[in-house]
Amino acid sequence: MLANEFQVAFEIFNCRTGVNMLLYKIQTRLALINRFFLLCFYYL
């Protein structure tokens, strides 16, 4: 019983960290795209 609850908690933790990593990757990618567009507009 205890092991099962621990397993569920561990899976929830893994899911959360996975989502956080995904959001972080998306944010950094958007930041890079924004910087790229700003550079393009700056040089136009």
pLDDT tens per residue across span 1-44: 577 888 898 998 998 999 999 999 999 999 999 999 999 888 87
pTM of the model: 0.58
Which pLDDT does position 34 carry in this prediction?
93
Helices (H), 1-44: 2-43
Tokens 């959360």 belong to residue: 16
Residue 15: Cβ-neighbour burial (10 angstroms; 0-12, 13-18, 19+): exposed
**Residue 9: what residue type?**
A
Which pLDDT does position 20 carry in this prediction?
92
